[in-house]
Every structure is written in structure tokens, then in C-alpha cells.
Structure 1
């Protein structure tokens, strides 16, 4: 650790931009992320910020090493848990600008008082020429955080976007499917008034269900204030756990249940009370709310897909930064958002204010509407048999042939509709769906002689935008698209997919479609070792006895198989699984529900995590082993694998 921190300090010494360091008890990540959301890159240049909550001795060092050197500002988050830690962080960061959020009771366990905690945190700013503090006279925590963000911009003379673009951030939240058709938001990290306000605000922004709060004893703070915050949010059900909240139960809503311990909750609570609800678990670690989360989760399968919604938002905004200011974005959420879960991903994209969502089939669009999604939705494989359902759900069809055009006009006529938005697909060389050049005249004639539909956009699809060897073909497609689209009524034009966004800026036109680029590095498939055994030399393993221990082997069994989406072709040593940082080969055939892995060279125990794909091996590497593409790997993950959403 010491060597890594010295390296980080040296790397920081070579950076010539401004370093903003933020610390405090609450709100560090929120202020940093809001600052980034308001950053105007066209006027200010490039910004770096610490990823997620990388604020520890290790996290700060890693953050500093990520600075590329051409950023105008680097915004670094610093956190401590005990005396003596801040001086080591100060020596690495050496900030030009200091930012201090409020000082409260969070993380106080190793300090004698809030005064000692504040004194330790202030060491970060010992040599800092400018210190900006939160205005603690502002009672509402969100208003206080926003005021602090705007103060930073004002005092540094930086440009920011309109503050309406800020989206509230939920700290350290997991979102996953719960029992009885419920959704669980797990914030079982800390429980104080500041983070309670933020978490409830996040719960309010999710698709509407009954809203339930399961709440532990406060880590400092006033129960009357907590009760007032909760009352303002008009919950359908409140559950309090812990001696402190139990003793103050008279302050809370009448529709409430109270338990002195987490064990009492498990023994006495009726799970039917949380049916069809969005459940916020807001508790501190000592109350073991992670056990409540596991208890209320819909699937107990040890294997899970981890979906990092924050990384997706970063991917979205990285691609947006490549576009002209008035260029729109359509985000692809077809195939259950590439296997990651459609409603949850779509809700994040809606909060990020994408202009359109796109699905493959009508039933996918209906699912999004039923989940509360309001953003315009385009159905790419629009089947005439589903046009009625499409109209009823206010979905917009791709029109790709004269017959589909006439059929949809007939549907809108039956419903008595006019100017219903449709999206015209042109075939410029992909030769899937779409109008050919010789059909453009008839297409224009039909569109011009009716009032039931209007053309919202005209688009095509690039066949090889990611292959430089085929750029001549791609440029020919773009030229053909210009010619064909010019013969049709005015509408939005779009042809670029993820690769096209990055490689063909001249073809961004009015809108782009972001698909696989949205999901890069945001999805991991993980499981845990359920058994380890020692196999003697020459023993065989698995069906068909294809696995052979050529010498003594230490074998780990993982609860994932081809029924979960682990391709059978990864067996017999083709694929590898990451166990504690080492890639371990799959032994023998992949079974329906299990797989065996050689962990002879790894220090591991039962219960340790195993990564099927994520940071290592990346999904692209798994695809290469299978001689396929990452899309197939992602969309093959079974629905019986629970999805866990990280914000």
C-alpha cells in the first residue's frame, strides 16, 4: 500500500491542472457527482473525478493514478475511518481547492467526538489556498449540497450547465427483484438524516408501486426530525427496527410495525405486507440489513448478474460528449437491455433524459410502459399483428416496407388517430429490414397523401462501422442514406450505432443510436464457490469423464451451468473463471446447473467469489473463447439469474 501511495503522489506531482479535494461526513459522493453532471466540457475542457466512492487509502491512490494529465480539473473524494489516515491522503492529493461537506455523526465510531473528527478531516486542507464549506444553516440536505456545488463553480469561475440537469444520487444503493412482486432498494450501509433524505428521494423517482421503508435505529440524529422527513414522503408502510426507534415509535406514522431486533423482525413480520411494493432498506451495518435484503430477495440463487447503472450513465455521457449540442440520443434497451434488466435500465436512462428508447418487439415496450416509463419508445421489429397493442401502449413502430406502412395506416384509421409518429427504415446495404431505393417514390407518395401518420425519423443501419478495413463500404452507406432520406419528408435522420458514433462524426446527423457502447464494463456475472475437494491423480471429472486430473488437483464447484447461460463450449479448458484474481480453467464439461474449476494454484475457500465475466475475464474475452460476439454472451444469461443493480 505504501509503495502504491508513493506512486500516486508522484503521479499527482506531474499533474498541472487544479485538484479539488472533498471530505466530510455526508454528501461527498453526491456533491462530486452533481459537480460532474453540471460540468460544461465545451467551455471548461476536460474533467476527471474519482469513480464511485473511491475515497479510502486504496481508492484515493487508484483515483489519482487514473488522471491522464490533460484535464482542467481533477475532483478527488477523501474519506477516513480512524485518526492518522487523513495525513497520508493529504500527502497524495495535495489539493489546490478544498471542499468540506457537513460534519455529523457518520463514521464517528473511532473518534471521541465530532470535534476530533472535524479536526482530522481539516488536515486535508493544511496547505490548501482555497477552502469552500457547506452552508449548514440550510436545513434541507439536497439544497445544501446543491448550494455547495454552485459555490465551487462560482468561486473557481467555471461555467456550468443549467442546474435543472441535476439528478439526485442514491448512495451505495443496490436495486433488485424482491419476493411477492416487490422491488428492493438496499441502502444498508449507514443510517443518518442526510442519507435518509437522499434515499427516500431516490425511491420516489422509481416506477410507482406501494412504497415501504424498513428503517433501523439512527446513527446519531433526532428521531423527531427523522419522523418528519418520513411523514413528508407519504409512505404506505413503515417498519422500524432497533431499541431507539422502538422507544420513539409514537413519532412515526400509524401504519407502522416496530421490532427491537432484526431477529424479531424475521420471526414476526408478515412478508405479505410488502407485496407489490418498492421497499427501501435504510439501515446501518450493525443491524445486519444485508440479511433482510437476502431474506426478501426473489431468488436465492448464489449466482447473480451485477449491473452498474452508474457505469452505464458514464458510458452514455461519454458518447454524448462526442455529439453536437443539438444531436439527440436513442438508447437501445432491446433483449431485456442486453440481458441486464429492461425496466431498471430504462428508468436510469429516463432520468438521464435520453430522447428515445428502442426495443425489438412490442411486448418489450409494453413491459416498459407497465413499469412506469414515459420516454418515447420505438419498436424496431414491428409486427403488424401487434399494431393494436402498440397503439394502446403509445409505442412508435419502425416502418420498413410498403405493406407494413399500409397496415399501420389502416390501424391508425380504425382508432381515429392522426399524425401518429412512425420511424422509416431504409436499406442502404445491410439487407435486413428496410425500403430499397426503387421504393422511395411510392413511399413518399403514400406518406404525402394521408394524415394518419407522421414521419418522426428516417434511419438506416451501418453493417461494418467497427471495421476500418470496410470504411469505404460504410462511407458508401452514409452517402446512399443521404440521397434516399433527402427524397422523403423532413424528419430526424439517424444512422450511427455505437461504433459509428465514435468513428463517423460526419454521420451523426440529428440523432444517434447507442447500443453495446452503453453496456461496456457495466455488467458482471458472478457466483460463489459452494464446495472445494481434492482430486487424486488420474481421477476423472464430470459427464463423459472429459476432465482428467493429470496430477493431484484442487477442484472448486460453482453453482452455474448452461441453463444459466454459461455456454457448454467453455468446458474442457476452453473457458476460465476468475477466482481471487487468478484465471482458473474450467474442467470437463459444463453441466446444466454446475461447473467445475481447477483452483490448484489459488488460495481460496468455500464461499469465495468467482467471476464468470466482468473486469477479468471481460465479456469480450469470453466471446473470443467462444468465437462469437459479446452481445450473444450477455443476452444468453438466463432469467433465473437475479439481477443486482448498483448505483
Structure 2
């Protein structure tokens, strides 16, 4: 975004009271945001409980100079640029609508009662290998959230996916003007926000307004919905029951999956999805329909749909205390989602006995009498053995439920947990956010006594796309997965990168590449440091070696001749100043002579490595490396009459030397959420979180010591917690003795004494904690960057030091 303040004045039909012209590159409504700056346009929204005009003076002091307001606060007239309008929310929406019209690419608009966010996130996952997607962040689907989502579009995006959520009539037309979807998807229509409409018909009509100018509407065929669809709107429907739908589907449960047979036009094919609950099946089918509309072939649809994953941790199965299974749906409570959750409970139950913990139900659109009568019928039909109700309203209808006990609030229920005698049962925990049922989940969840490195695959995707956005359209991407994915894990990350269609993977040694190929990775894999003894295995597993010396080249050619290879791909490494590995300028004539007319191998790429790409104090040296690489690689290409891929940039080089992208770049540590640039770091997401638990807590007196060598001696009564992780797990001993800390319950706990082989000790005197509580070794706090700074090393060493005995757990949010 780069719009002049004068242009925005015209767009908003505002009265301008200004001190200077300005270029706007950021829109904000949050006075707390650290991204607010001199080129920010701040919309001072006025709500029932807040008026952002009161923050304008403080924002001016922080450097913000441009404001959209309904009035200019007293004594500030000549201190900033003010665009005075009648209504700041209307103006935000007007600006977003104008901004949306600057872009002409397909936009998917989603609305419905349930499933919008899940379908959006799944579509993003399914389509992201082929599109640069802009989508609503989280659930930004409101009158404010939608405009903020839209203004994040940039010129690199070629597909949009936006949610539109409404709670009453006369809201959707505004969102339609802003989103202007070309493709519509109507998700499940349920009871959420029923109170905002006179009936289901009015709700459907209001939601369908989002698609009044769309080219196509994708939806689950239904007679009630059909009655309200404009005959001029082209539709693409699916159904399990109505064979008149465009796509007819039959389903069959298959262990923990669902087998779906798809009939579309004159073709039939099958897909499997890793879910059995009705909500996930419906959401997955909405996504499948979008893939069909985008003309994906059956194999691609099958492969991608099979990789779908749970979103937002809702309806997540967890192990509970005393041989129980928990179904955690602790963030929503409405009648429709209760039906879905009970279906999930039935399909996932591990124990015959079933318990429901349920809060007051909101947004039903029914009287309490009717609502809880329906809930009672639902619970009886699902053969729930006992109900634990929480909330004043559900308590008043206690007599409608079999074997029911109620509590006025969550705290009183938690206080009675042990008296409720949970054991050998499946427990569905379902409550509105305001009841904070996550506390009940925490009280019932089994504490796992293990150290684990959690890897956020969404963060890897985000970081990959961040660096992709810096590349020219034709520039290829090699992603480095050497050293067990920088300590994060090899295969799982490689599989994700393959899904995102990176061009190459890079590993250090042959055994890493062999492991990936054996596990089923099909991407070309370059081995950066091949040993001569590994050449036969490299050839056998179709890996591609980096060749950096005449000795290595001759050794490979000898084996290539024995195996009668024909144009086997190799990669020539040039030394341009790193002085580690590579051919130097004086070696080039011999290299050229050896490769000329040689049909055993093909030079797939020519590469070099920069020594100072992360340090702009050595910019001249870096530029000299690039110049030498240009000179030497050009000579090779000219003499050998070849056009290989050329690449010299690593993660830091991508950002600092964009003019040297050549044909490909190599993304390493940045993929894992670490940048050497403080400004760039804020755009990356943390990938790895190393977690453990408190094994034991003890209190020691003054003059008592902790650990080997008595390197910590208490000067007062001190509470010490022992954590089961040590230097054998990869935690540096230099991190002990007061240098480092861990995080427990969002508080810093200083490491005391020497770090042992299998454990370390921390001071928790000022922290309210218990044995079994979670401990963050690194992640958001402390970060690996902070640890590296304190230990006078680099983040690479921190990450790659984590022992293989530490379990890796991969997840998507």
C-alpha cells in the first residue's frame, strides 16, 4: 500500500485539516500497536465502551501523523493531519472497498453459521502450493475485521479467501461491498446468532447477500436454501441425498477415516479424509468442491484432502486422569455445535461411560424452556450417562437432565473435581469462552512427564511464504533440511516443503538424503558435503552431489563410468572468499577440461557461499564475492556451453542482496523462524518450542547448596524446582549458574547451580507452581536468539544441539 493522504481525502470525502502531505502504507485501529508510525493512517473508531479519539495525543507523541476522526481533539489542530468524517467505521469500510477494487484476482467469500474459519484455513492449505493467498487472519470476519483483512492485500497476491460473519440483518451488504467475492462458499447454517433474525429464512437471505455479484456459489444442496437463491446466480452444489446436485457423494466410515465416493459429471473417484465427525466431513467437502471448481484433477484432490488437519485445537482428543479420554471443545457453546460435538463423542469414545460437562448455552434464538428441552432430548438420544452443568441458567433446568449435578460457576466445579470421581469414561467438555473451561481441561488432563520439542508446521509455512514474497517470480527456492532440519526434524518438514512445491531440498551428508528418499520424499535433494565413499549410495538413491574439488570430481566420474551413467546431475561449488570448500579461479581450466564433452554428468547448478551476508559492515566483501561468482560462473557457462541454475544467496542474502538472486536461493535458518535482522525478525513466526515439566519442588534453607560442586549456595530460604532436561539433551552447561532461565506459568525462573546430564534446577521462590507444571526451555521466552546472545554463539548451535532423544511433536494450529 502506498497512497497519498490527499488521495485518501478524496476516497473518504473527508474534510482535511493538515500540516503536510504524506504517503500512507499502513492502516491501524489499535493504539497499542508497535507498528504505528509516521506513515500509518489511524482510524479513531468509536464503540459503546471505547472512543479511540482519547488516544490521539499519545499517538502523536509516538510519531503517528495521520488520523481519520469525527472531530479534532482539543489543542491538537496543528499537530497532525486530520481527515474529518461523519463516521469513522463507515470510512474504514469505504476505504477498504476502494482498496479492494484496486486488485483483480479471484476472491473466495465464505459465510455461514459454522465452519467458516476451518474451511478458510483448509482452503489456504490446499491451494497455497499454487497461489499466493491473502486470507482473513484468524476470525477477522466482522464489520471491523473484514476491512482490516482486505487492506492487507498486496500486488503479489493472486487469490483471496475472506470470511464474512454477521449477527443480525442489514450487515452483509457492507461486507459484500468490501470483499466483492467472485467465488462464494456457504458453509453450515446453524443456530448461532438466531436472536438477530426473525427466522431461518431471514438469516439465509441475509447471508446470501454476500454472493449477489459472485460468479459461482458452492453450497450443500438444501431445499430451504434453494428457495432463497437468486435464479441469476450460478451454483455448484453437492449432496449425499439429492442426485440432482452437481456433485453426488456417498460415504463410508473406514477405521478412523471416512471414505467418500465422488460422482461429478461423467467421472467418479474416491477420496479419504482423516475425520469421521459430520462437521469435518462437511467442511472437507466444501474444500473439495472448491478444488473441483478450480479444475484440479482427482489425484491431486485425493492427495491434498488426505492431509487435512484439525484447526484451532477444537474437538481435540486428550488423555485424562484415571483412564479417561477428554474431548476438548472448551471455546464454544451453541445448540448446533453441541449436536456436532456429541456426534464426535460417539465416534471417538474409548470408554462405554459418557459424561458431558456443559455450560449455559448462548445464541440459540430460543426461549430457555424450549432450548433446554431440546438439549435434554439431544442428551438422552445420545445416551449420555451423566451431565455436569455449569452456569445459573442450566442449573435452573437441572431436572431436565438424567443423572445431573450442576454448579453456579467453573471455580466451584474445579473445587469439586475429586468428589466427582472421574474414571474409565469419555468426557466431552463444552462451554462458552466466558466460562473458561480450559481450566477444567487442565485439571482433568493427564500430566505427561516427558520433554518434547514442539514444531509448529504453520509457522514454517508462514516463514517460507515470507521469504518467497521477497523473490522475483522466476527465482527458485532450495530449502535446507540438513542437520535433522536444524534440529527440528527432517521428514515431517521435508514433506511440508514438498507440499509447498519448493524446488530443491538441501542436506549436508548422504545419509540425511537417503533417509528422506527412503521415507518417500520425491523432491530433488542436493548433498552439500558428500564424502567420496558415499558416491555409490548417492547414485543409488538418486541424490545430487555437490562437487567442490578435482579429487572429488574424478572420484565421482570414475564411479559414474563404472555404472555407465548418462548426464547424472551434479552441482559445482565455487570458492569466492569463504575459503571452506569449492573450486578456486586457478582450478577452472582443469575443471573445464575435465567436464567438456563429458556425457557421464550434467552440471545442474553452479553455486557459492557468502561469508558475510548477515553483516552489512562487510558489504563490500560480500559484493566482491558476488562479482567473483558472476565472473567464474559465467566463464564456466561460456566454456562448457551450458545454462545451469546459479545460486549464491542464503537466508540473510535473500534480504540483504536481492539483486543477486540469480536463478535460485537457499533458505536455511530463516525457515525455522530466525533472522539476523532485528527488523525482519518480527515478521517471522517461532517454529520450535522446547518444553518439559517440573519433576520435584523442594525448599532449602540459607547456606544450603544445589547441584554438583555447590556452585549455588542459597542466601535465604529458597524454593527449588528440578526439571528433567540437561546437557545430554543439548542444553549447554554455560546456560546454568544464573546465566539462563526457563519460563514457568509466564514467569522467569533462573537456572541455579550447574546443569546436570539429565536435569537442571531453577529458583521458583516467587512463582506459584506445582510439580507437573509445564516448563518452557525455549520458544517465545527465552528465544533461541536471546540464548545465543547470552552464550556468545549463534542460534544454529542452540537448535542443532537438541538431542535425538528429545521427542519431536509436530502440529498445526
Change (3 A) 1:593 1:481: same
Aligned partner of 2:467 among 319, 324, 343: 319
Aligned with residue 47 of structure 1, among 110, 128, 134: 134
Secondary structure of 1:434's aligned partner: coil
Query: What is the deviation of 1:518?
Result: 0.6
- TM superposition shift of 1:591: 1.2
> 2:676: which partner in 1?
none
* Residue 496, structure 1, aligned to residue 649, structure 2: yes
Per the alignment, residue 811 of structure 2 pairs with 646
Q: 1:360 to 1:47 in 2, by over 3 A?
A: same
Aligned mates of 1:219, 1:120 — CA distance in 2: 28
Q: Secondary structure at the match of 1:17?
A: helix
Partners of 2:151 and 2:129 in 1: how far apart? 19
Q: 1:303 aligns with which of 451, 455, 465?
A: 451
Residue number among 555, 559, 583 corresponding to 2:720 in the alignment: 555
Do 2:128 and 2:500's aligned partners in 1 also have CA atoms closer than 8 Å? no
Q: Tell me how far apart the structure 2 counterparts of residues 116 and 575 of structure 1 sit (CA, whole Å).
A: 60
Correspondence for 2:309 among 170, 178, 199: 170
Cα distance in 2, alignment partners of residues 372 and 475 from structure 1: 40
Report the 3-state secondary structure (helix = DSSP H, G, I; strand = E; otherwise coil) of the residue aligned with 1:638: coil
Q: CA 1:607 to 1:518, structure 2 compared with 1: closer, same or farther past 3 Å?
A: same
* Structure 1 Cα separation of the partners of residues 483 and 311 of structure 2: 27
Q: 125-134 vs 538-547, which deviates more?
A: 125-134
What is residue 536 of structure 1 aligned with on the other side?
A: 701
> How far does the alpha carbon of each residue in 1:409-435 deviate from its partner, in whole angstroms, 9 at most, with x for none?
111111111100000000000001100
1:493 and 1:330 map into 2 onto residues whose CA distance is 12
C-alpha displacement of 1:466: 0.8
User: Matched residues in 1 for 2:145 and 2:802: separation?
Assistant: 32
Residue in structure 1 matching 2:584, options 433, 436, 449: 436
Distance in structure 1 (CA, Å) of the matches to 2:345 and 2:726: 50
Change (3 A) 1:457 1:103: same
Q: Say which of 577, 588, 599 aligns to 2:753.
A: 588
Q: In the TM superposition, what are the counterparts of 1:44-443 in structure 2 within 5 Å?
A: 47=134, 49-50=136-137, 54-55=138-139, 71=153, 96-97=178-179, 101-103=186-188, 134-137=218-221, 138-139=238-239, 141=282, 142=284, 144-145=286-287, 147=289, 167-168=304-305, 169-172=308-311, 219-220=342-343, 241=350, 286=428, 302-443=450-591
Query: 1:561–1:593: 8 Å Cα contact kept in structure 2?
Result: yes
Residue 480 of structure 1 is aligned with which of 622, 628, 635? 628
Q: Which one has the largest radius of gyration? A: 2
Please say which of residues 611-620 and 141-150 is displaced more in the overlay.
Answer: 141-150
- 1:194 corresponds in structure 2 to none
C-alpha change, 1:360 and 1:3, in structure 2 (3 Å) is closer
Distance across 1 between alignment mates of 2:745 and 2:715: 24
What is the CA–CA distance in structure 2 between the aligned matches of 1:613 and 1:61, rounded to whole Å?
A: 38
Q: Deviations over 1:243-287 (max 9, x none)?
A: 699xxxxxxxxxxxxxx99xxxxxxxxxxxxxxxxxxxxxx9749
- Whole-Å separation in 2 of the counterparts to 1:590 and 1:243: 47
Q: Residue in 2 aligned with 1:603?
A: 768
Task: Return closer, same or farther for 1:533/1:76 CA change in 2, 3 Å cut-off.
Answer: farther
Structure 1 residue 608 displacement after superposition: 2.0
CA contact (8 A) 2:489 2:808 kept: yes
Select 1:509's aligned residue among 635, 649, 662.
662
Alpha-carbon separation, structure 2, partners of 1:304 and 1:119: 50
CA distance in 1, matches of 2:769, 2:202: 37
In structure 1, the partner of 2:96 is 17
- CA distance, structure 2, for counterparts of residue 63 and residue 574 of structure 1: 43
Alpha-carbon spacing, 1:222–1:624, altered in 2? closer, same or farther (3 Å): closer
**In structure 2, C-alpha distance between the alignment counterparts of 1:617 and 1:473, rounded to whole Å:** 33
**SS of equivalent to 1:449:** coil
Question: Aligned Cα RMSD in Å?
Answer: 4.8
- 1:478-535 Cα deviation digits (max 9, x unpaired): 0000000011132110000011111111110000100001111211111122222223
**Partner Cα separation in structure 2 for residue 363 and residue 187 of structure 1:** 41
How far does residue 550 in structure 1 lie from its aligned partner after superposition? 2.0
Unaligned runs of 5+ in 1: 80-84, 154-159, 175-185, 191-216, 227-238, 246-259, 262-283, 289-299
2:566 aligns to what SS in structure 1?
Answer: coil
- Hey, what's the Cα distance between the residues in 1 that align with 2:505 and 2:772? 39
| Shift, 1:407, TM fit | 0.7
In structure 1, the partner of 2:618 is 470
Q: Distance in 2 between matches of 1:119 and 1:594?
A: 63
Distance in structure 1 (CA, Å) of the matches to 2:768 and 2:503: 49
| Structure 1 residues 323 and 9, CA gap change in structure 2 (3 angstroms) | farther
CA contact (8 A) 1:24 1:101 kept: no
Q: Which residue of 2 aligns with 1:198?
A: none
Query: What are the Cα deviations for residues 75-115 of structure 1, in whole angstroms up to 9, with x where unaligned?
Result: 66699xxxxx968xx99x9784497653278xx9x9999x9
Q: CA deviation at 1:548?
A: 2.4
Q: Measured at CA, do residues 307 and 222 of structure 1 come closer, stay the same or move farther in structure 2, by a change above 3 Å?
A: closer
Aligned partner of 2:689 among 503, 514, 524: 524
Distance 1:368 1:27, change over 3 A: farther
- Verify the 8 A CA contact 2:454 2:688 in the aligned structure 1: yes
- State the TM-score, normalized to the length of structure 1: 0.69
2:743–2:775 Cα contact (<8 Å) kept = yes
Structure 2 stretches lacking a partner, 5+ long: 1-29, 33-44, 53-67, 69-87, 101-108, 222-237, 240-248, 250-281, 314-324, 330-339, 355-382, 385-425, 431-447, 674-685
Distance in 1 (alpha carbons) for counterparts of 2:143 and 2:717 = 40
> Are 2:449 and 2:772, in contact at CA under 8 Å, matched by a contact in 1?
no
For residue 461 of structure 1, give the secondary structure of its aligned residue in structure 2. coil
Residue 212 of structure 1 corresponds to none
Q: State whether structure 2 residue 713 is matched by structure 1 residue 571.
A: no
